[in-house]
Structure 1
Amino acid sequence: MSGVHVFTSFTYSYLSRARVLAKSVRRRHPDWTLWAVLVDRPPPGFDDRLWEGEFDHVLDAADLFPGVWRQWIFKHHIVEACTAVKGHALLHLLSLGAEKVIYLDPDIAVFHDLGDLVSKLDTHSIVLTPHQLDPNLAESEIADNELTSMKYGIYNLGFLAVRNDGNAVRMAKWWATRLYHACYDDVTNGIFTDQKYFDIVPGLFGGVHVERDPGYNVASWNLSRRDIEISPGGEILVNGSRLRFYHFTKINSDGDSMTERYAGTNLAVYEVWNWYKRELRGMELETIPNRYWRYGQFEDGTAIPRAARLVWRTRPELMACFPDPFASGPDSYQSWCDRRETARRDGDDEPALPADNARSIEGARGDAVAAVVHVFYPELLAEIRDLLTAYTGPLKLFVTTTRDKADAVGVALRGFSHPYEVGIFENRGRDVLPFLLTLPRLMAEGFDFILKLHTKKSTHRRDGGRWRRELLTGLAEPFELQWTIGRLQRRPDVGMVAPEGHVLKLSAYWGSNEARTRVLAQRMGVAQAGGEPEAFVAGSMFVARTAALAPIASLRLSPEAFEPESGQTDGTLAHAVERAFAYSAAAAGLRVAAKPALALGSGDDLALVANETYRFAPRSDIAA
C-alpha cells in the first residue's frame, strides 16, 4: 500500500461528480490509487460495471460498520451520512498501510499537479485548507464568508491530507469516534457534520500544516478574495498562482448564486464553472433516478422524514425495540412513527414501544465478540459502555454483577446499541468466578472471541485509575478491538492478548498463587499439551479465543471453592485462576501475546514477550 491514496465518499446521486473527480486526478497523477467509498445501494437494474473501473477500489461504506450499519446510518440524512463515514474510511486506509492519504469531495476537480501539496506530508502529519485566506472587506462579504466559516468550520473538509504516522493515526481515531457518535448538521450545538470538529485539530494534534496557496480549494465561499484569470497560454491562475483544484460546491443551486455574486464580470470564473457543468453532463448515467438515495427511504419506498431520524438519534432505546429501522410493516419503526405523529396531532399519548432489547446476533459469526464485563463499581460502567457502543462489529455484551448493583447496571445500559444480558451472581470469586460460570454459555452460542473486562478500581493503589484506563483503552477502544480480532484471525498460534506492559513473566509474579495454579494446570493436562507458558495477563482483562479458555471451562470449578469477596489482593483462588488462564491457553496449544498499547497504524504485530517488571505490582521473586 505504498504511495498516495485518494478517496472520496458519495451516493449514486453524486456519481457523475465522483467520476469527474476520478478523471481529473487520474489525468494529473496516474500512479495514485483511487478509492470510491459508496454510501448507498444501487438502483434497481443498475450496472455498476459502467463506472467501477474508473476507480482502483470501490468500498461499500457498510463494510466499515458491519455490526451496526443500518441502525447507525438511519440517524443521518444524505450529507451527514457521506461525511460520517470519512473517519472510518481514513482509518481503514491507514490500517492497510497507505503511506499518504488524501480525501477529496466528489464535487472537486483537479486542474494541476498536486505534488507540492503531497510533499508537505514529508515534514507534516496533517494538511488542511482554510475556507478563508485573506480578510474580507465589505459587510456582505464578512457575513457570507467569515461569519459563515466561523459557524460551519474554519477549515474546509472537502480536502484533507495525512501521512501515516502517530499524529495522523491519533487524529483519525479521534475524528472517527466523534463522527460515529455525532456527525450532524446541528450548528446550534456546535456541530456541522465532520467539518466543525477540525477547528480544534491544530490544538489537539501535532504536525498540522495549514496550506495558504490560493490555488487550492477555490470555491464560491472564497471567490471574494481570489482573482481567477486564464493566461494567454490557457493556464488558470488564482491570485497569480496555478489553480490546483476547484471545489464546485452546490452547483446548480446556492453555489451558482454565490458564484454570480462574487465573480461579477470575471468571465474566467464562468469558463471554469461551465466547463465543469459540461463534464458532469458527459458523466451522467440515465439509469440513476433523480435525487436517488436508497437509505433515504423505508423498505416500501416511502421517504424517511427528518423527524423520524431526529427521534431515532435522540432515543437510543428505540434501537433495542426496532432491529431494522428501515423495515416497513405493522411492527416496524415506520409504523410506530406514523402512529406517534397521529397521536401528536390528536393530543394523545405516545404509542407504546414493543419489547425492549429485541436485537440479537443471529448465529454468532466468526468475528462476533462476546464482551463479558463484571460490574462491582456501577459508576465505572459508563466508560466501558461508551467504548463498546462505538464498536462497529458484531458484539454481544454479557454483564455480571451482584443483586444490589443490578438496578444501577440497568440504568447505565439503557439504550445500549448492542444486544446484552445481565447475570446476577453472589459476591464471590471477584470477576473470575462469574466469568467462568458465563463461559459455557459463550461457547454454546458459538462465539469465537471473548473480550473480558471488569470495573477495576484497585482502591489499594493510588494509580488504580491509570491501571484501569490503560487496559480499557488498549483492549476495548473500538479500533484497538478491531485490530486485535484481525490479528487473532491471522495468528492461529495465539490464544490470549493483552496490551504491552501487562503481559508478565510468570516466574517473577507468582505471588502466593503458585501451588494452586499448578494444581489447576495439572488438571488441565498442560504437561501433556507441550509445556508451561512463560507469561500471563495481569489485571484479568484480555481478548481471547474461546478455544483458549475451553480447558479451564472444562474443570467446572465449584463456586464454593472460591473465597467470598473481602478485598483480598493476593492468594485467593481467583488470583490463581488469573494465572491459570495462561495454562488454559497452553493446554489448547496456544500462546499469550502482547499487542501495542495503541496498535492501529503502528505497523507492529502481536509479540510473544513477557515483562519482568510491572508498573502496578512488585516482583514476588525478589525480597523487598
Structure 2
Amino acid sequence: MSVNESPKPDVDETSEHPVVAICHCHYEEVVDELILILDRLPDGSQVHVTSSNPSVLASFKSGWRRSKVSLDVLATENKGRDVLPFLRVLALLKLPDDIPILKIHGKRSLYSSTGEKWRRDLLNELVPSEAGVQKIVNEFGNSPKLAMIGASGSYVSDLGYWGSNKRQTLKFMRSAGSNPPAAHDLGFYAGTMFWIRSQCANEILSNVDFGQFEKERGQRDGTYAHVLERAIPMTLRAQGWSLREIGDDTELFPHKVRHRKLTYF
C-alpha cells in the first residue's frame, strides 16, 4: 500500500481473536522500537501506522518482517497529535463490535528528561509478549462490559490533572449524552495509550467534532486532543462501561487512585 492509500477496512474474520493496532509515529528514530513492540502481536493481527513524516512510513514498510501480520500506512497531517490520526483510521476501518484495538504512539515528551522511559514503560506494559497480548484479548472476551485497559499505574485522577481541559471535557460528555460527573470524578489514562473495545471507540468517534482540532504549535495542554484524552474513558465509564489496568481484574474508579502522581515530568 502506498502512503497515500487508505487502510484496508476488513478485519480477518477467520482469526479467532483478531487484533487491530493503530500506531502514530512522528519521529523516525522511534520506528525500530515500535516495530519490535508490534512484532509481539499474534498472527492475524492488523497494524495501521500513521505519520506526517514520509520517512517514518517508508522506514516502517522497509523494516516490517511479519508475513502474517498485515501492515498498512497512512500519511496524515501534523495535527491533533496522536489522537486525530487514530480517529481518522478508525473512521476508515468501520470495525464491527468486540474487536480489541491497541492504540499506541511514538511519544517522546521532549520537555521531560524521563519522556523516553515513559514511552517504553507504556509500550512494554500494553504489548508485553504474544502470550501477554492474548491474555489482554481474552479479558475483553470474558468481560462484555469492559471498555478499556491501560498500563498499570497510568490511570490518574488527581484533580490537578484537569489542567485547562475541564470545561471542554464536560462539554464533550454532554454532547455524547452522558451526564457530566461530579467535579472530583476526573479519571483517564495518562499518555493516551491503551486497549479499547471497537464499539466503544466507535461511540466516541460518532461524537467527535473534527473541526475542533487545532494546528500544531507544540502545545502541552488545553488542546482538543488533551480534552479527548480525558473524555474518552470518562464518557465510557459514565455510560456504564468498565475500565481496567494491566495485571488487575478489578474495575477502576477515580477515588481509588486519587493519590497517584505521574513520575515522568
Partner in structure 1 of residue 33 of structure 2 = 383
Identity of paired residues, percent?
29
> What are the superposed Cα offsets for residues 392-437 of structure 1, whole Å, 9 maximum, x if unpaired?
2531001111143333333333x33310211111100000001111
Show the 5 A alignment for 1:257-406. 362-363=12-13, 365=15, 367-405=17-55, 406=57
Change (3 A) 1:416 1:567: farther
How much has 1:439 moved relative to structure 2?
A: 1.2
- Which residue identity lines up with residue 502 of structure 1 in the other structure? S
Show the 5 A alignment for 1:367-516. 367-405=17-55, 406-413=57-64, 415-417=65-67, 418-444=69-95, 448-478=99-129, 479-505=131-157, 507-516=159-168
Instruction: Tell me if 1:538 matches 2:190.
Output: yes
Q: Is the 8 A contact 2:44 2:70 kept in 1?
A: no
Return 5+ residue gaps in structure 2 as ranges: 1-7
Show the 5 A alignment for 1:155-174. none
> What are the superposed Cα offsets for residues 57-116 of structure 1, whole Å, 9 maximum, x if unpaired?
xxxxxxxxxxxxxxxxxxxxxxxxxxxxxxxxxxxxxxxxxxxxxxxxxxxxxxxxxxxx
Instruction: Tell me if 1:608 matches 2:258.
Output: no
Secondary structure of 2:54's partner? Answer: helix
How much has 1:503 moved relative to structure 2?
A: 0.5
Secondary structure of 1:462's partner? Answer: coil
Q: Is the 8 A contact 1:400 1:423 kept in 2?
A: yes
Q: Is the 8 A contact 2:147 2:200 kept in 1?
A: yes
- Which residue identity lines up with residue 136 of structure 2 in the other structure? T
- Which residue identity lines up with residue 249 of structure 2 in the other structure? D
How much has 1:580 moved relative to structure 2?
A: 1.1
Partner in structure 2 of residue 592 of structure 1 = 243
* Cα distance in 2, alignment partners of residues 435 and 387 from structure 1: 18
Return 5+ residue gaps in structure 1 as ranges: 1-357, 597-603, 619-624
Structure of larger gyration radius: 1
Q: Which of 172, 185, 204 pairs up with 1:552?
A: 204
Please tell me the root mean square deviation across aligned C-alpha atoms, in Å.
2.8
* Cα distance in 1, alignment partners of residues 189 and 62 from structure 2: 31
Change (3 A) 1:364 1:381: farther
Q: Is the 8 A contact 1:368 1:447 kept in 2?
A: no
How much has 1:533 moved relative to structure 2?
A: 5.9
Secondary structure of 1:555's partner? Answer: coil
- Which residue identity lines up with residue 495 of structure 1 in the other structure? A
How much has 1:367 moved relative to structure 2?
A: 2.2
How much has 1:477 moved relative to structure 2?
A: 1.9
Change (3 A) 1:471 1:563: same
- Which residue identity lines up with residue 219 of structure 2 in the other structure? Q
How much has 1:546 moved relative to structure 2?
A: 1.1
Q: Which of 174, 178, 203 pairs up with 1:526?
A: 178
* Cα distance in 2, alignment partners of residues 463 and 416 from structure 1: 31
* Cα distance in 1, alignment partners of residues 264 and 185 from structure 2: 20
Provide runs of 4+ in structure 1 moved above 6 Å. none
* Cα distance in 2, alignment partners of residues 366 and 585 from structure 1: 26
* Cα distance in 1, alignment partners of residues 70 and 228 from structure 2: 28
Partner in structure 1 of residue 219 of structure 2 = 568
Q: Is the 8 A contact 2:31 2:59 kept in 1?
A: no
Using the size of structure 2 for normalisation, the TM-score is: 0.84
Aligned residues: 251
Q: Is the 8 A contact 1:552 1:581 kept in 2?
A: yes
Q: Is the 8 A contact 2:101 2:196 kept in 1?
A: yes
Q: Is the 8 A contact 1:593 1:609 kept in 2?
A: no
* Cα distance in 1, alignment partners of residues 16 and 177 from structure 2: 28
How much has 1:506 moved relative to structure 2?
A: 6.0
- Which residue identity lines up with residue 515 of structure 1 in the other structure? R
* Cα distance in 1, alignment partners of residues 177 and 50 from structure 2: 29
Change (3 A) 1:410 1:445: farther
> What are the superposed Cα offsets for residues 449-504 of structure 1, whole Å, 9 maximum, x if unpaired?
10000001110000111111110011012233222111222222321111221011
- Which residue identity lines up with residue 437 of structure 1 in the other structure? R
Q: Is the 8 A contact 1:506 1:536 kept in 2?
A: no
- Which residue identity lines up with residue 157 of structure 2 in the other structure? K
Specify which structure has the higher proportion of helix: 1
- Which residue identity lines up with residue 546 of structure 1 in the other structure? S
How much has 1:522 moved relative to structure 2?
A: 0.7
* Cα distance in 2, alignment partners of residues 525 and 606 from structure 1: 26
Change (3 A) 1:393 1:526: farther
How much has 1:615 moved relative to structure 2?
A: 2.6
> What are the superposed Cα offsets for residues 278-329 of structure 1, whole Å, 9 maximum, x if unpaired?
xxxxxxxxxxxxxxxxxxxxxxxxxxxxxxxxxxxxxxxxxxxxxxxxxxxx
* Cα distance in 1, alignment partners of residues 250 and 138 from structure 2: 11
* Cα distance in 1, alignment partners of residues 78 and 17 from structure 2: 32
Secondary structure of 1:487's partner? Answer: helix
Q: Is the 8 A contact 1:525 1:587 kept in 2?
A: no
> What are the superposed Cα offsets for residues 337-380 of structure 1, whole Å, 9 maximum, x if unpaired?
xxxxxxxxxxxxxxxxxxxxx9x853375621110000101221
Secondary structure of 2:162's partner? Answer: coil
- Which residue identity lines up with residue 583 of structure 1 in the other structure? M
Q: Is the 8 A contact 1:431 1:454 kept in 2?
A: yes
How much has 1:581 moved relative to structure 2?
A: 1.0
